[in-house]
Amino acid sequence: MPTRRLSVSIVGLGYVGLCTAVTFASRGFPTLGVDIDSRRIKAIEKGETPFHEPRLDRLLKRGLRSKLLRVSDDASSAAEAEAIYIAVGTPSRRDGSINLEYVEGAARQIGASIRDIHGYRLVIVKSTVIPGTTSSKVKPILEENAKKKVGPQMGLCVNPEFLSEGTAIRNALYPDKLVIGASDEQSGSRLRKIYRAFYGGKLPPTIMTNPETAELIKYSSNAFLATKVSYINTMANLAQEVPGVDVESLAEAIGLDPRIGPLFLRAGPGYGGSCFHKDLQAIISYGRKVGYEPTLLREVEQVNEQQAARVVGLAESLLGELNEKRVAVLGIAFKKDTDDIREAASLRVIDLLRKRGAQVVVYDPMAMPNAKAVFEQSVEYATSPKAAINEADCCIVMTEWDEFRKLKAKDYAQLMRSPNIVDARRIYEAADFETVNFRAIGLGDRMS
Ligand code: UDX
């Protein structure tokens, strides 16, 4: 067992908070996870994970068994720990701007509960917040409720996370960087000390900066990744119009340039997930507020939004009118290996298909319960990929699940009413699908 570790508490056991909590416990830190949702806490206490994430289940059970991880629905207990992370959600308001009520509420409760504590407490904002939030909102709320000033008795840092769904535990254990935005020197050096213990003495590359810069780094990172996706989708849409041109060769070639890099250049139906759209909207709205219109980011979002119509357009190029056609959608999740359908491109595509009068049948290996909650009776639900394509007029592959790769051209030909396939994720080799009607994002139509 490692030497004594500082204790940490994490307020907000959503995706980021829970993954962070289990990794702290796994590295020997006494960890307290706090969430106001008592049903969620009861489930977590029993070792049940509220969402799917590889390795989370094992680390949660191990943390609870070792007693290094405890959970509570009492927010005031967070101040028991020396380092207190705020990891609550920052959803969008209707106009796209950020809703900070949970961050402010957490700051209020944390402040109130450290009021009577004599020792030093370090508060760390892990939630994604727009620049200025920590200094101009969190800090005064903490100080007012704690009746202490940030400085000798209380520390405050911004420490954004860069966890991707599906690899969150690996990302937390082996990050490519740490970003620490410290309100003062002591706060920063205390947080570095925690991470030195966490990472076994050797810190990952660490950017030490002020809170505002740390806050903006998080948005810049997500906005850049989203820009890469919209960029390659723009190239894909151009490529698609030229017979014989393939965006995959293009992406491979430009990716070899170290100034561009090979990652995040997979053309597809547009990005989804809980972060990109929400964060872009928040930073666009923030830009407007401070007097700068970030037109590039607005276009990134618009390209993404329009990509759904490109996918449906491919189906129409094969079928003509979609009215009363049976269209199978394979994959609802926003990417493979998750049950998350938030902002998934499939939602936009299914919406358009329904507006054009198509009869939609869907299948996803993991996301069916979430899909049912959204679509209710408006679509049909199949129990397997083959059942979904059975008697369909068209099939659109929306998520790159491995199990969809097993379907061969002959399966489509045998099962479908007419074998029209739109590969919106580029999971198939066009050469293997010459016997059926096949279109793919970023692939110019066959040369006749
Ligand atoms: C993202 C960021 O990667 C992560 O650093 C941040 O903390 C949270 O947001 P995540 O939402 O889990 O993580 O998904 P990610 O793997 O980044 O993919 C986002 C979307 O972009 C998915 O819909 C994915 O299918 C799409 N995408 C990604 C592409 O269409 N093409 C690509 O080349 C890469």
Give the ligand 1 atom nearest the CA of 163: 7
Sheet holding 69-72, edge to edge: 69-72, 31-34, 8-11, 83-86, 121-125, 154-158, 178-182, 206-209
Could you tell me which of 87, 19, 28 has the C-alpha nearest to residue 57? 19
Neighbours of 174 (CB within 10 A): 10
**Dihedral over Cα of 68, 71, 76, 77: its sign:** negative
Give the mean pLDDT of 280-285.
97
Task: Give residue for tokens 């850049």.
Answer: 224
Q: What is the pLDDT of residues 331-344, one digit of tens each?
A: 999 999 999 999 99
Residue nearest to atom 25 of ligand 1 (CA): 335
Could you tell me which of 157, 422, 93, 68 has the C-alpha nearest to residue 289? 93
Question: Residue 376 in contact with residue 405, Cβ under 8 Å?
Answer: no
Could you tell me which of 212, 336, 187, 345 has the C-alpha nearest to residue 276? 345
d(CA 291, CA 208): 27
Q: What is the pLDDT of residues 99-119, one digit of tens each?
A: 999 999 999 999 999 999 999
Q: Which residues contact 278 (CB under 8 A, 6 or more apart)?
A: 90, 91, 92, 343
Question: Is the pLDDT reported for residue 1 higher than 80?
Answer: no
Sheet holding 394-397, edge to edge: 380-381, 359-363, 326-330, 394-397, 420-423, 437-440
The pLDDT score that the predictor gives to residue 448 is 47
Going from the Cα of 334 to the center of ligand 1, the distance in angstroms, rounded, reads 9
d(CA 165, CA 171): 9
Give the ligand 1 atom nearest the CA of 167: 12
Residue tagged active-site, from 19, 157, 275, 394: 275
Going from the Cα of 274 to the center of ligand 1, the distance in angstroms, rounded, reads 9
Question: Is the pLDDT reported for residue 388 higher than 80?
Answer: yes
Residue nearest to atom 20 of ligand 1 (CA): 271
d(CA 146, CA 113): 7
Copy the structure tokens of residue 249: 């060769």
Could you tell me which of 275, 273, 270 has the C-alpha nearest to residue 300? 270
d(CA 359, CA 378): 9
How would DSSP label each residue in 196-239?
HHHTTT-PPSEEEE-HHHHHHHHHHHHHHHHHHHHHHHHHHHHH
How would DSSP label each residue in 31-82?
EEEE-S-HHHHHHHHTT--SS--TTHHHHHHHHHHHTSEEEES-GGGGGGSS
d(CA 91, CA 102): 9
d(CA 197, CA 179): 16
What is the H or E stretch that residue 363 is in? Answer: strand 359-363
Q: What is the pLDDT of residues 263-282, one digit of tens each?
A: 999 999 999 999 999 999 99
Q: Which residues contact 269 (CB under 8 A, 6 or more apart)?
A: 307, 308, 310, 311, 345, 346, 349, 398, 424, 425, 441
The pLDDT score that the predictor gives to residue 446 is 66
Asked whether 173 lines ligand 1 (CB < 6 A), one says no
Strands (E), 154-212: 154-158, 178-182, 206-209
395 is a catalytic site residue: no
Q: What is the pLDDT of residues 84-96, one digit of tens each?
A: 999 999 999 999 9
Q: What is the pLDDT of residues 170-203, one digit of tens each?
A: 999 999 999 999 999 999 999 999 999 999 888 9
What is the H or E stretch that residue 437 is in? Answer: strand 437-440
Cβ-count burial 400-409 (b if 16+ within 10 Å, e if not): bbeebeebeb
Question: Is the pLDDT reported for residue 2 higher than 60?
Answer: no
d(CA 425, CA 397): 7
Going from the Cα of 150 to the center of ligand 1, the distance in angstroms, rounded, reads 36
Question: Residue 47 in contact with residue 61, Cβ under 8 Å?
Answer: yes
Asked whether 276 lines ligand 1 (CB < 6 A), one says yes
Residue nearest to atom 14 of ligand 1 (CA): 164
The pLDDT score that the predictor gives to residue 447 is 54
Give the mean pLDDT of 428-438.
96
Asked whether 390 lines ligand 1 (CB < 6 A), one says no
Please give the share of the chain, as a percent, with pLDDT higher than 70.
Answer: 98
Question: Residue 363 in contact with residue 385, Cβ under 8 Å?
Answer: yes
Please report, to the nearest 10 degrees, the dihedral formed by the alpha carbons of residues 362, 364, 365, 369 taken in order.
Answer: -90
